[in-house]
Amino acid sequence: MEAGTRQDIGGALPEGLGQAIRETAGDIAALLGPVADTSVPVPESEWTVGEAAAHLAQANELMADLAAGRERPYGDGTAQSLAAANARALTAFAERGARPLAEMIVEQADLFLAAVARTAGEGNADRTLVTPLGRMDQTVLASYLLTHMLGHGYDLARALGRPHMIDRARVGLCLPFLQAVMPRVADASATAGFTARYALRLRGGSAFGVTFADGAVEVTPEPPRRPDCTLLAEPVTFLLIALGRCDPWGALARGRVLAWGRKPWLGPRFPTLFTAP
């Protein structure tokens, strides 16, 4: 978000972010509402619809607790530890009914926003919070919540044969989280010894830079002046690739991602440098 934009949720979040959280939770609830059988498998996942919805309900509760200032240890930030924490949480939580889970997803998203507004009213909007993916301010945490709901909402929509709820505006609101977490989810074995400067541009939207220098990863709010490779991505495709829901090679082949510059061959390598959170 650009500095100086109007804000909502009592001035606590960038414009549109709170509304996107509310609407995405509502969209997911609408998907789940008429579902009678939640044992339907989610494509390319070990979970059923009921398990994915239960995970979303629990994750929204976790985020609401974090926003309220309650510490909730949940893995160590690695993909393996998060998967293990998810499995333990699902085992301890028996609810798989579509309607109760839909209500919980919406309720916990509302509690999250209420906690953010309350904190802003107390003058603590710039506080730092400990999350499963490191320390974040509450804008980044809110962006994290939205990104997480969109990823699993996409999975549920695919499983149920319904349209997903990801659009260009919501992708833009995911960028604070994605940019903040990129250095943390970089694959150390893939980035070791690798040096390159990328300019990332979303079609019709934002642009930023990602620089690799022998294992170190730096994300900048502006693209580098002389990038080795520029990537132009259709926004929804960009988010799906970032979340591991879309094959980057297929996206390149279909023209949804374009690469050019002094070293355009570095384009297909970019997604392989990260592990999806």
Q: Which domain holds residue 51?
A: 12-172
Given 142, 172, 202, the domain boundary residue is 172
Condensed to tens digits (0 to 9), the pLDDT of residues 110-162 reads: 999 999 999 877 777 678 899 999 999 999 999 999 999 999 999 999 999 99
In this structure, are 136 and 224 located in the same domain? no
Whether 124 is covered by a domain: the verdict is yes
Q: Give the separation between CA 235 and CA 195, rounded to whole angstroms.
A: 26
Q: Which helix (H) or strand (E) holds 62?
A: helix 49-67
Q: What is the pLDDT of residue 137?
A: 94
Given 114, 145, 172, the domain boundary residue is 172
CATH number, residue 203: 3.30.1050.10
Task: Output 6 or 124, whichever has higher pLDDT.
Answer: 124
In this structure, are 151 and 235 located in the same domain? no
Q: What is the pLDDT of residue 262?
A: 96
In three-state secondary structure terms, 154 is: helix
In this structure, are 31 and 152 located in the same domain? yes
Tokens of 134: 């490191």
Interval 223-249 mean pLDDT: 96
Whether 1 is covered by a domain: the verdict is no
CATH number, residue 92: 1.20.120.450
In this structure, are 218 and 144 located in the same domain? no
% the chain with pLDDT above 70: 95
Q: Which helix (H) or strand (E) holds 81?
A: helix 79-91
Q: Which helix (H) or strand (E) holds 14?
A: strand 13-14
In this structure, are 21 and 158 located in the same domain? yes
Whether 181 is covered by a domain: the verdict is no
Q: What is the pLDDT of residue 8?
A: 52
In this structure, are 200 and 65 located in the same domain? no
Lowest-confidence pick of 123-137, 198-212, 263-277: 123-137
Count of the separate structural domains present in the chain: 2
Q: What is the pLDDT of residue 47?
A: 97
Residue 195 bridge partners (DSSP): 213
Q: What is the pLDDT of residue 2?
A: 37
Q: What is the pLDDT of residue 9?
A: 61
In this structure, are 149 and 23 located in the same domain? yes
